[in-house]
A and B are shown apart, each in its own frame.
Chain A
Amino acid sequence: MKWEGWSLSVDRTAIEARAVELSKRSIKKASKVEALTHILQMIDLTTLEGADTQGVIKALCHKAMHPHQRGYPSVAAVCVYPNLIADAKAYLNGSTVHVASVATGFPSGQVPMSAKIQDTEAALRAGADEIDMVISRGEFLKGNLEFVSDEIKAIKKICGDVHLKVILETGEIGSLEMIRQASFLAMTAGADFIKTSTGKISSAANFLSVMVMIEAIRDYHLATGKKIGFKPAGGIKRAKQAIQYLVMVNEILGSEWLTPELLRFGASSLMNDVLMQLEKEQSGQYQSAPYYSLAY
């Protein structure tokens, strides 16, 4: 591989300093409203629980389409388990909200390849518009990069034009340099998006992993001209945090990435905080949770 963007080196102290600098951007008033409005439309409103029922999915879909009585735009997608895709499709019928489904033995990925393929095929048959797959972190950590590359390629082949988001689960990858390596691995194997986390382990999206992945996307773009999307997920509860990520994407990847086609936020409780902040900007009053409907 030629160098262009492929060096795996990441300096933690320096990238952290840059992340801190970007996180201190003061986004206020009109620009805050603009940022929050973008973020709302980039949310993959997510429920991934063993206890999810059709009722939960119905509530989720309603919230996705109708965030608030004041009539804010709908979110980008709902993200559910494969079993519930068909229900989500039905509830969302006629709306612009996509149905994304996790697949490939989410969240651990510790199932045979055949099961991953079946899992994905089932999701697609059920009408998933987007697939969020997990990589085999064990194989990756063992150094079996070819295995990981091959599994992504195989899933992408099945997906065809359906958007494939590849979850790296950065909290299980031991270093920033390995996150960078995994990012390149996923992008070269055919990922349309790279995504930080499953949300199923305690260590999820954070400044450092977000910065590393954004830079990898930028470097890949400089080298190939291809634009890969980015989805931070897991633990994004506050609008402020989402704005900080938005700023990072804006300043590192550029404003052309500020579209649901290339940027998503995988979250559930984030949505109401975004709405509360938007309302606060409108009314000047700090808001209270009971005034905002639940998504389940």
Chain B
Amino acid sequence: MRFEYEAAPEDTTHVNLQDSYGLFINGEFTSAQDGKTFQTLNPATEEVLADVAYAAESDVDRAVKAAQSAYDTVWSKLTGKERGKYIYRIARRLQEKARELAVLESLDGGKPIKEARDVDIPLAANHFFYYAGWADKLSYATFGGPPKSLGVVGQVIPWNFPLLMAAWKIAPALAAGNTVVLKPAETTPLTALHLCKLFQEIDLPKGVVNIICGDGATGANLIKHPGIKKVAFTGSTKVGKQIAQIAHAHQKAVTLELGGKGAHIIFEDAAINQAVEGVVRGIYFNQGHVCCAGSRLFVQERVMDAVIERLSRRIETLRVGNPLDKNTDIGAINSKMQLDKINDYISIGIDEGAKVRRSSCKLPTRGYFCAPTFFTDVSPAHRIAREEIFGPVLSVLSFRTTEEVIQKANNSPYGLSAGIWSEKGSKVLAVSQRLEAGIIWDNTFNQFDPAAPFGGYKESGFGREGGMQGLYPYLSV
């Protein structure tokens, strides 16, 4: 017999979803000056969720000016203690509205409700809580040097963790005394806009945070705006390089959180069953839409068969489907465009001669879905072993010795994350030191915390978010 779990959908009745949303400029929701809008979809059903105002250059200008005015007249004049109180209010209000925001995040982005509920929203609230406490302690972070804010910062965030990325950007910027213009991703604007409603509720001074929606052109207008003193971007390495050029040439401070091709290493002396779970968390968490995903799995040859056997069984138990179902492990791919890209890479992998294994799960007939997939017999030269896929697709490679796997892991232009599974502490620490990556997860993967700095080496970007180090990009030091 099979034991089937009946559908367990999260209740959506308490979510106050509007038909249309404006731009949040100077504390008010406002239409775009030219009245242009775009639609945001539920990727699990392909249904339109809402119309959202599209910010043209003049709207960007309005937003930056509002932020500048708020900086000049209010925010830069507040003490750190008072700034901190506002940020604490944001954190608390987020906790109060956690379930509503989790449902909204799942609806708009396609991520499983259990992840939005247990990861995204609590971490977003914690991030505000963490940086609220720094606001009146900045001189300790700068070792006594006078902490100076920068002014208006321009922030552009991606669609994989919409509210969490907004928190990662806004919280340290405000704590350091800056004001903000932030652009959420085109496909996932809703939680950021609901965050604006929350700003109104807590009486955040007008213009301190402005949120404008749009596409790449909107982001480019924001970054180029002469009023922007600092640029923070999370997204693809390709766009990140363009942003770096613009920012450097205009002498704006810049931090970038870009792509990755994380090396996930299983040594023969690992706790194999937990390592396999780590692999699952590393690549199938959030449909693999994770910049620090462990997308290159290196398995020591002696345990390769054991790992593959377990992983093959394990992906069959991953539940793919309605993101709002509390038992769903893998939700919807964020957009049609992303699904096409993932499917292209799967074809590329097959054409390159790698052996594909996919879950036999049934996919919903509507919406954008992708069965959990991994490739074996992958060689380091394969494109699927080098390029970021940003989906639930893993490339498995083998190694024989520790030295070899360090070479292979570092053989990438990226350097965001790495994972190491071994029960031998000295080896784990030594390998951690040798890997060129900003985050090393030993015997775990995809852990995040506001107190832990996060960011990449090499082409995965520069600057850190989280922790004391996450303040520096927002201070003139």
B84 located at the interface, meaning its Cβ lies under 8 Å from any Cβ of chain A in the complex: no
Do A14 and B8 touch (CB < 8 A)?
no
- Candidate in A14, A25, A215 with the most chain B CB atoms within 10 angstroms: A14
A63 to B271, CA, bound (A): 43
With A11-B443, A34-B3: A26-B327 Cβ-Cβ less than 8 Å: yes
B6 located at the interface, meaning its Cβ lies under 8 Å from any Cβ of chain A in the complex: yes
Which single residue of chain A is at the shortest CB-CB distance from B280?
A18
- List which B1-60 residues lie within 8 A (CB) of chain A: 1-6, 8
Name A's interface SS: helix
- List which A206-236 residues lie within 8 A (CB) of chain B: 215, 219, 222
A2 to B356, CA, bound (A): 28
With A4-B306, A14-B277, A15-B273: A251-B317 Cβ-Cβ less than 8 Å: yes
Q: How large is the interface on B (under 10, 10 to 19, 20 to 34, 35 or more residues)?
A: 20 to 34
Do B271 and A9 touch (CB < 8 A)?
yes
Do B444 and A29 touch (CB < 8 A)?
no
- List which B314-368 residues lie within 8 A (CB) of chain A: 317, 326-327
- Residue among B1, B4, B269, B310 making CB contact with A31, cutoff 8 Å: B4
- Residue among A14, A27, A215 making CB contact with B278, cutoff 8 Å: A14
A53 located at the interface, meaning its Cβ lies under 8 Å from any Cβ of chain B in the complex: no
A1-39 contact mask (Cβ, 8 Å, vs B): 1 or 0: 001110101110111011000001111111110110010
A54 located at the interface, meaning its Cβ lies under 8 Å from any Cβ of chain B in the complex: no
A227 → B minimal CB distance (Å): 15
Which single residue of chain B is at the shortest CB-CB distance from A5?
B306
With A7-B271, A10-B274, A14-B274: A29-B6 Cβ-Cβ less than 8 Å: yes
Which single residue of chain B is at the shortest CB-CB distance from A216?
B273
Q: How large is the interface on A (under 10, 10 to 19, 20 to 34, 35 or more residues)?
A: 20 to 34
B114 located at the interface, meaning its Cβ lies under 8 Å from any Cβ of chain A in the complex: yes
Do B6 and A11 touch (CB < 8 A)?
no
Q: With a CB–CB cut-off of 8 A, which chain B residues contact A13?
A: 443-444
B413 → A minimal CB distance (Å): 30
A23-67 contact mask (Cβ, 8 Å, vs B): 1 or 0: 011111111101100100000000000000000000000000000
- List which B250-283 residues lie within 8 A (CB) of chain A: 268-275, 277-278
Do A14 and B444 touch (CB < 8 A)?
yes
A25 to B269, CA, bound (A): 31
B7 → A minimal CB distance (Å): 9
A25 → B minimal CB distance (Å): 6
B451 located at the interface, meaning its Cβ lies under 8 Å from any Cβ of chain A in the complex: no
A26 to B275, CA, bound (A): 25
Which single residue of chain A is at the shortest CB-CB distance from B424?
A9
- Residue among A10, A15, A30, A255 making CB contact with B1, cutoff 8 Å: A255
A26 to B6, CA, bound (A): 9
Do A26 and B306 touch (CB < 8 A)?
no
Q: With a CB–CB cut-off of 8 A, which chain A residues contact B302?
A: 3
With A5-B306, A28-B6: A258-B273 Cβ-Cβ less than 8 Å: no
B215 located at the interface, meaning its Cβ lies under 8 Å from any Cβ of chain A in the complex: no
Do A219 and B273 touch (CB < 8 A)?
yes
Do A14 and B271 touch (CB < 8 A)?
yes
Do B443 and A14 touch (CB < 8 A)?
yes
A293 located at the interface, meaning its Cβ lies under 8 Å from any Cβ of chain B in the complex: no
Do B273 and A31 touch (CB < 8 A)?
no
Q: With a CB–CB cut-off of 8 A, which chain B residues contact A18?
A: 274, 277
A273 → B minimal CB distance (Å): 20
B274-311 contact mask (Cβ, 8 Å, vs A): 1 or 0: 11011000000000000000000000001101100110
A11 to B269, CA, bound (A): 12
- List which A231-274 residues lie within 8 A (CB) of chain B: 246, 250-251, 255, 258-259
A189 to B107, CA, bound (A): 53
Do B3 and A31 touch (CB < 8 A)?
yes
A200 to B270, CA, bound (A): 34
With A9-B272, A25-B327: A255-B2 Cβ-Cβ less than 8 Å: yes
Do A11 and B5 touch (CB < 8 A)?
no
Which single residue of chain B is at the shortest CB-CB distance from A259?
B1
Q: With a CB–CB cut-off of 8 A, which chain A residues contact B387?
A: none
B306 → A minimal CB distance (Å): 6
- Candidate in B1, B271, B277, B306 with the most chain A CB atoms within 10 angstroms: B271
A18 to B318, CA, bound (A): 13
B61 located at the interface, meaning its Cβ lies under 8 Å from any Cβ of chain A in the complex: no
A251 to B316, CA, bound (A): 9
With A14-B277, A14-B278, A14-B444: A9-B270 Cβ-Cβ less than 8 Å: yes
B307 → A minimal CB distance (Å): 11
Do B6 and A30 touch (CB < 8 A)?
yes
A32 to B269, CA, bound (A): 39
Q: With a CB–CB cut-off of 8 A, which chain B residues contact A222?
A: 306, 309-310
A7 to B4, CA, bound (A): 32
Q: With a CB–CB cut-off of 8 A, which chain A residues contact B2?
A: 255
- Residue among A10, A14, A17, A26 making CB contact with B5, cutoff 8 Å: A26
A225 to B447, CA, bound (A): 36
A250 to B305, CA, bound (A): 23
B299 → A minimal CB distance (Å): 13
A14 to B445, CA, bound (A): 9
Which single residue of chain B is at the shortest CB-CB distance from A211?
B273
B92 → A minimal CB distance (Å): 25
B136 located at the interface, meaning its Cβ lies under 8 Å from any Cβ of chain A in the complex: no
A255 to B305, CA, bound (A): 23
A259 to B302, CA, bound (A): 35
- Candidate in A26, A219, A258 with the most chain B CB atoms within 10 angstroms: A26
Which single residue of chain A is at the shortest CB-CB distance from B302?
A3
A28 to B302, CA, bound (A): 42
A129 to B66, CA, bound (A): 81
Q: List 6 tightest A-B contacts by C-beta distance, closest first.
A: A14-B274, A26-B8, A9-B271, A26-B326, A11-B274, A11-B271
Interface residue ranges, A against B (CB under 8 Å)? 3-5, 7, 9-11, 13-15, 17-18, 24-32, 34-35, 38, 215, 219, 222, 246, 250-251, 255, 258-259
Given A17-B444, A25-B327, A32-B6, 10 more A-B residue pairs with CB atoms under 8 Å apart are A3-B306, A10-B273, A11-B274, A15-B274, A26-B8, A26-B327, A28-B8, A35-B3, A255-B2, A255-B3
Sample of 30 A–B contacts (CB below 8 Å): A3-B306, A4-B305, A7-B269, A7-B272, A9-B270, A9-B423, A10-B273, A10-B274, A11-B271, A11-B274, A13-B444, A14-B274, A14-B277, A14-B444, A24-B114, A25-B5, A26-B8, A26-B327, A28-B6, A29-B6, A31-B5, A34-B3, A34-B4, A215-B273, A222-B309, A222-B310, A255-B2, A255-B3, A258-B1, A259-B1
